[in-house]
């Protein structure tokens, strides 16, 4: 392997690759030599990140995807195998906060509707994208990883999958589901050499959090809750994904990688 390149000869599918944490992860995987099939529902932005990866000398392609579609998942995995020969890494990053941008941001440490204000429709949408999408992706990738002789599945949960907060119960539930789903999948597929881990970011500056972090009251409370005293960057989370994707973590499965500036240590 070329020095400094940790994913040479590996093929990665990265969902949510058009923005924030997904874009940073896809870029980093590309820099480390992986062939990346970047997927997202945002076509222009997804294509622009693929262009960036290619301009930096990496190998990447874009595929439009709504992670809620079972049939589309089959097609995505088939495309990765057809174009690049195998699937070694699946990074399930696509997600939504479920916060209505028109709604006033509550001054609690996390923003979003309170439980009694959440409709069933809202609950289902958050669960379908954040949890069911991860299940569908994991299920679709497993046969391809078995064919490849193993693999690494990285599911993005959140600190909200570990602790509760003032608001947005659906988001907490969806991310908590990702955490335990990953452990069950890790146990079931360890005999196939398929590792499954969850990543739990704290408050990271991305388009998802931009409105909240632009509100000084919300930003102050979130920073006070973060011992290291700054918001995370998408790169902070991508670095953790790189570790879990690479053979450096070959004895790591069913674990939770918390990257939160110390927030949940409190
Ligand atoms: P982001 O909004 O910048 O990126 C999310 C991406 O997911 C977007 O490109 C969006 O188009 C895509 N997406 C949304 N719904 C989709 C769907 N149905 N199908 C396909 N793609 C879809 O947000 P981000 O902050 O980079 O978040 C990435 C992940 O990290 C999410 O799962 C989020 O819940 C999680 N997370 C973020 C933070 C944070 O502070 N930013 C903290 C903890 C966890």
Q: Quick one: pLDDT at residue 104?
A: 47
Spatial neighbors of 213 by CB under 8 A, at least 6 apart, are: 203, 205, 219, 222, 231
pLDDT, tens only, 11-39 = 999 999 999 999 999 999 999 999 999 99
pLDDT, tens only, 146-186 = 999 999 999 999 999 999 988 789 999 999 999 999 999 99
Q: Report which protein residue has its CA nearest ligand 1's atom 17.
A: 66
Q: Of all atoms in ligand 1, which is nearest to the CA of residue 237?
A: 30
Can you give the pTM of this predicted structure?
0.97
The CA 8 to ligand 1 mean position distance, Å, reads 26
In angstroms, the Cα distances linking 180 to 25, 168, 176, 189, 199 are 23, 19, 7, 14, 12
Q: Quick one: pLDDT at residue 166?
A: 81
For the question of residue 171 being annotated catalytic, the response is yes
The CA 116 to ligand 1 mean position distance, Å, reads 24
Does residue 68's CB lie within 6 angstroms of at least one atom of ligand 1?
yes
Q: Quick one: pLDDT at residue 114?
A: 77
The CA 96 to ligand 1 mean position distance, Å, reads 5
């Amino acid at each position: 392997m070329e020095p400094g390149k940790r994913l040479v000869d590996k093929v990665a599918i990265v969902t949510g690759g058009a923005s924030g944490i997904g874009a940073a992860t896809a870029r980093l995987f590309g820099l480390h030599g992986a062939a990346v099939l970047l997927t997202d529902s945002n076509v222009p932005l997804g294509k622009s990140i693929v262009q960036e990866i290619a301009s930096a000398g990496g190998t990447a392609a874009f595929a439009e995807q709504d992670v809620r579609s079972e049939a589309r998942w089959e097609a995505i995995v088939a495309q990765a195998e057809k174009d690049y020969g195998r699937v070694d890494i699946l990074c399930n990053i696509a997600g939504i906060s479920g916060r209505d941008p028109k709604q006033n941001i509550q001054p609690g440490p996390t923003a979003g509707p309170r439980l009694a204000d959440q409709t069933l429709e809202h609950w289902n949408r958050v669960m379908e994208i954040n949890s069911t999408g991860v299940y569908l992706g994991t299920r679709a990738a497993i046969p391809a990883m078995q064919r490849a002789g193993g693999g690494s599945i990285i599911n993005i949960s959140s600190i909200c999958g570990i602790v509760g907060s003032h608001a947005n119960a659906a988001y907490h539930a969806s991310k908590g589901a990702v955490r335990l789903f990953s452990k069950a999948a890790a146990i079931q597929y360890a005999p196939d050499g398929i590792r499954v881990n969850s990543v739990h970011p704290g408050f990271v500056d991305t388009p998802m959090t931009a409105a909240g972090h632009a509100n000084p009251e919300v930003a102050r409370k979130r920073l006070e809750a973060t011992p290291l005293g700054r918001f995370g960057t998408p790169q902070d989370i991508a670095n953790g994904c790189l570790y879990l994707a690479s053979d450096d973590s070959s004895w790591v499965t069913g674990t939770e990688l918390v990257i939160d500036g110390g927030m949940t240590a409190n």
